[in-house]
Structure formats: C-alpha cells, structure tokens
C-alpha cells in the first residue's frame, strides 16, 4: 500500500512536469506567433502598398513586440530543453548551453524595439523600424531556432 502510494505520487509528479513543459512551449509559440502575425503579415502588407498605412495596427504590433521581449526570458526554462516537437520550429538546445548569449540577444531585441518604435509613425518610418526589429528577430532565430 505504502509502495503504491509512492508510485502514484511519482507518476503525478512526472505528469505535472510534462504538462508544465508543454505549457511553456505552447506559451512561447503563441507569443512568437503574435509577433509573427504583425511582423511577417500586417506590416509587410503596408510596406508593399497592399494595405493602407494604419497607425493603430502599427502601434498594436509594437505593443506585441515589446510584450514578447518582456516574456521571452521566462519562457525558456532548462526543463523545456527536450520538449517534444509541436510545430515546424523548435528551440535549439544551444540556448541552454549559451544562456548568457541567449539573454543578451533578448536584451538587444528589446533595445531594437525601443529604438524602432518612435520611428514608426509614417510609412517611410515604418520601413526603417521594421528593418531594425528584423535584426533582433533574425539574430536570435539564426542562432537558436531550428527549422524541421
């Protein structure tokens, strides 16, 4: 009986760990997709002249980027290193081998958003702002995102 209780307790702990791991991966993917919706979708459509310049959408995009910069550091715990693959992209194990560099990239990304945001008040300004933010997304993806 005692042994059974111990097994049940151990299984519960394991199940909780798996759920926590899956949640954090789902959460960071949803943060990334929210940025991606603007960065790869709404903003390029304006830049290509396929949609009119819309300041409210631009502001919402920068709010999403700034929000992601705040959340990313807490969304990559060591426990999520070997999380099962759930989409075409996953986090490289190098993140946890070079945690200081990863964190430096998040900080640089945050700074690029702050520098870009005040420029994003016109179509011309948005061009420059979009390029600045791109450098932040790409420098992290190039090192730490794996495409399957």
| Residues forming the site for ligand HEC (CB under 6 A) | 25, 28-29, 32-33, 35-36, 39, 65, 72, 87, 89-91, 105-106, 109, 133, 136-137, 140-141, 144-145
At closest approach, how far in Å is the CB of 33 from ligand HEC?
5
Rounded-to-integer distance, Cα 56 and Cα 74, Å: 28
At closest approach, how far in Å is the CB of 137 from ligand HEC?
3
Neighbours of 12 (CB within 10 A): 10
Looking at the Cβ atoms of 28 and 117, the one nearer to ligand HEC is 28
At closest approach, how far in Å is the CB of 50 from ligand HEC?
19
Q: Considering only CA atoms, which of 79, 75, 76 is closest in space to residue 14? A: 79
At closest approach, how far in Å is the CB of 4 from ligand HEC?
37
Looking at the Cβ atoms of 16 and 66, the one nearer to ligand HEC is 66
| Angle at 98 (CA atoms; ends 144, 68), nearest 5 degrees | 50
Looking at the Cβ atoms of 32 and 126, the one nearer to ligand HEC is 32
Return left, alpha or beta for 49; rule: phi > 0 is left, psi -120 to 50 is alpha, else beta. Answer: left
Question: What are residue 98's phi and psi, to 5 degrees?
Answer: -125, 50
Looking at the Cβ atoms of 36 and 125, the one nearer to ligand HEC is 36
- Packing angle between helix 55-71 and helix 2-36, nearest 10 degrees? 150
């Amino acid at each position: 009986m005692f042994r059974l209780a111990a097994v049940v307790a151990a299984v519960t702990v394991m199940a909780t760990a798996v759920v926590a791991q899956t949640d954090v991966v789902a959460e960071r993917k949803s943060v990334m997709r929210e940025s991606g919706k603007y960065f790869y979708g709404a903003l390029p459509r304006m830049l290509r002249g396929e949609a009119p310049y819309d300041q409210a959408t631009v502001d919402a995009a920068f709010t999403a980027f700034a929000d992601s910069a705040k959340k990313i550091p807490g969304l990559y715990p060591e426990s999520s290193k070997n999380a099962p693959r759930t989409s075409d992209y996953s986090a490289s194990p190098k993140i946890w081998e070079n945690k200081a560099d990863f964190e430096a990239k998040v900080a640089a990304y945050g700074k690029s958003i702050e520098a870009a945001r005040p420029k994003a008040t016109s179509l011309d300004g948005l061009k420059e702002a979009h390029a600045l933010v791109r450098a932040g997304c790409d420098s992290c993806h190039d090192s730490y995102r794996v495409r399957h």
